Amino acid sequence: MTPPDSTRSSREGFLGQLYAGRFRWDLLAWPAPDPVERAAGDAIVAELGAFLREAVDPLEVERTGELPAGLLSAYRERGYLKLSLPAALGGRGLSCYNTFRALVAAQSWCMPAGYVLAIHTGFGCGALLPALPEGTLRAHVTKRLMEGAISGWADTEPTGAANRLASTVAEPIEGGRAYLLRGSKVFIGNGSIADLLNVSATVREGEREEVRVFVVDTDSPGFSVRQVHQLMGFRGLPIAALELDGVRVGRERMISGDEHHWRASPLLEPLSSLGRMYTIAGASLAIAKRCLRWSVDFAGRRRINGRPLNEYDEIRHMISATAADVLAIESIVQLGLDGVETADGLTRRWFEQIAAKNLCSRACWRVVDRTMSLLAAEGYETAGSKASRGAPPEPLEATMREARGLRIAGGVDFQFDNRAALTGLMSFHTEPSPPLPEPEPVTDPRLGEAGARHLTETARQTTALARACRALAPREALAEQEHTLILLSQIGGELFLRASVLARAAAQPDTAPLADVACAASGVRLAALWAELEAEPAPVALSAGQLGELLADLG
């Protein structure tokens, strides 16, 4: 892939345009159905699903905290570590959307077993191939992948992932021909099983301090696994704390660029956003769909006062809301993955993929929380306990623990909104803002009355959002207005969610009733966001000094 100017391209995408005040309905044309593509996706979903049902007992994984011993070898032998790689590299050559579908199928059966594949596919060294020019590094990565290497991305550190500089350092040696990596990494998915890892580290050369990514073979001297973490959820996931104690890497293993940080390089951040689609959005969809199935099943079999639960008004309201959240996740993903096989296509969808991380994981959380209320005590009980008394052993309790992790993995939700606003939304503050475009009426004859109303309202709020963005303080002061930025980012996300379900309803009219439910629920969330944004005076936050006093008072 030839690196595009990612910021410019992404501004030309739907969300980039939305922040500029243009509601570009034309950019959300629903992907045309392709029967060949669909059949390829159905085939891998069926194959991978059947394999996992045979090879993995999810309740046993939850009980023991271990994946089955031969699972990794089977993944390797069956080509599941090369889902998206081209056939020339021995891969399955799946499109991004079919890769996503395959990963959702795996995560639906057993989250940690599927998440291993999702991390490898989305964040492993193979995921970076589009950013690697022909040369030694690309040849090495290709060779290792063809041998069946499994990998991941080691970024987070005990000092905190949000720090601008990595505390892991890459010290130049041998006259700059190589580096010694020193530092600690934590919470690294696939960390304890990886053959190859993308490792971020700060390079200090002269006055310059830059954060680069290095491709590290985990059998290198100085590399070790310190601990496999025990998380709140994802039991069985090989997520580890790692030590790099003078690991030598040749200069050619550095993924270069002139930028101060790997995130600023043209393709790496969009590629990692694609990785979040496979991991976070994929897991969110897998979980939300399971919850929908469990909700419908429970409401059908439970009778209260002789009346089936699914005849009660509030229960139908709740299950409709869950189905609408599932529709929203699916629609956001399908548009977010449309046309991303080229570098230009990927960067055009970059802001949409960034927004998808929080939209999907929060929708998933709403669904899980609602499902827990619906299933009541049977939801709160562990699957093992239910199995032993003969109740349907749906693992809702474990699923809730997993779902919460999705709002942290890949970036804590609120801080992710803040960063998204600074990168995407605020890119308009780098230059004199162009005049706000005159709002144009947006109509689509394929939408019914409710859909048309939601479309008009979404376009109206787009203009309001652009106006609010322009009213912000000068760029230098923006970073200090985190709460405002977070609210604006969430408003932009909600507008994208509404537009996504409406785009689908326009192409697939049978989804229109659920799109209506999704837009109505989003409208309620938007009203709260605008109310908070416009509240005068702004809700007070305690100062750092007052927080200190509070702590002292608490004793």
Q: How far is the CB of 161 from ligand FAD (least distance, A)?
A: 3
Question: With DSSP H G I counted as helix, E B as strand and the rest as coil, what are the percentages for the chain, rounded to 5?
Answer: 60, 10, 30
Question: Looking at beta carbons only, is 152 or 266 nearer to ligand FAD?
Answer: 152
User: What burial class does residue 43 get, using C-beta atoms within 10 Å of its C-beta: 0-12 exposed, 13-18 middle, 19+ buried?
Assistant: middle
The answer to whether 452 touches 444, Cβ cutoff 8 Å, is: yes
The two tokens of residue 37 are 């593509």
Least spacing, CB of residue 185 vs ligand FAD, in Å:
7
Residue number with CB closer to ligand FAD (74 or 408): 408
Report the residue number, 152 or 345, with the smaller CB distance to ligand FAD: 152
Nearest to 138 by CA among 125, 151, 154: 125
Minimum distance, C-beta of residue 119 to ligand FAD, in the bound complex (Å): 6
**Least distance between ligand FAD and beta carbon 202 (Å):** 15
CB of 156 to ligand FAD, least distance (A): 4
* Residue (108 or 192) nearer to ligand FAD, CB: 192
Separation CA 323–CA 296 (nearest Å): 10
Report the residue number, 154 or 374, with the smaller CB distance to ligand FAD: 154
Nearer to ligand FAD, 1 or 288 (CB): 288
Q: Minimal distance in Å, beta carbon 482 to ligand FAD?
A: 5
Minimum CB–partner distance for residue 410 and ligand FAD (Å): 5
DSSP state of 442: -
| Nearest approach, Cβ of residue 405 and ligand FAD (Å) | 4
CB 412, min distance to ligand FAD, A: 3
Nearer to ligand FAD, 379 or 410 (CB): 410
In this structure, what is the dihedral angle of CA atoms 90, 94, 96, 97, given to the nearest 10 degrees?
-160
Complex with ligand FAD: residue 188 or 249, whichever CB lies closer:
188
For residue 99, what is the enclosing H or E element?
A: helix 96-109
Within its chain, how far is the Cα of 60 from the centroid?
27
Virtual torsion, Cα 407, 409, 414, 420, nearest 10 deg: -120
Calpha distance 276→290 (Å, rounded): 20
- Closer to ligand FAD at the Cβ: 153 or 294? 153
From the CB of 409, what's the least distance to ligand FAD, in Å? 3
Residues sharing a CB contact under 8 Å with residue 159, sequence separation 6 or more, in sequence order? 167
Q: Quote the radius of gyration of the chain (alpha carbons, Å).
A: 24
Give the residue with the Cβ less far from ligand FAD, 166 or 491: 166
Concatenating the DSSP letter of every residue in 130-158 gives GGPPSSHHHHHHHHHHHTT--EEEE---T
Closest contact distance (angstroms) between CB of 407 and ligand FAD is 9
Handedness of CA 497, 503, 509, 510 (dihedral sign): negative
Give the pair of three-digit tokens for residue 172: 């130049």
Residue with Cβ nearer ligand FAD (382 or 415): 415
For ligand FAD, give the closer residue by CB, 230 or 305.
230
Token look-up 């509601």 returns 23
Nearest-10 crossing angle of helices 512-534, 449-470: 30
Query: Are residues 279 and 104 in contact, defined by beta-carbon separation less than 8 angstroms?
Result: no
Which residue number has the CB closest to ligand FAD? 160
Q: Which is nearer to ligand FAD, 405 or 451 (CB)?
A: 405
Token pair 């969610």 in the structure block, residue:
497
DSSP per-residue string spanning 313-362: HHHHHHHHHHHHHHHHHHHHHHHHTTTTTSHHHHHHTHHHHHHHHHHHHH
Minimum Å distance from CB 66 to ligand FAD? Answer: 17
Classify each residue of 295-317 as buried b or exposed e, where b means 16 or more C-beta atoms within 10 Å of its C-beta: beebbeeeeeeeeebbeeeebee
Nearer CB in complex with ligand FAD: 347/418: 418
The answer to whether residues 138 and 89 touch, using CB atoms and an 8 Å cutoff, is no
CB of 375 to ligand FAD, least distance (A): 24
- The residue ranges that bind ligand FAD (CB under 6 A) are 119, 123, 152-156, 160-162, 187-189, 231, 234, 239, 405, 408-412, 415, 482
Cα–Cα distances (Å) from 412 to 404, 420, 437, in that order, read 11, 12, 34
Q: Take residue 215 and report the two structure tokens written for it.
A: 């491709």
Q: Nearest approach, Cβ of 305 to ligand FAD (angstroms)?
A: 42
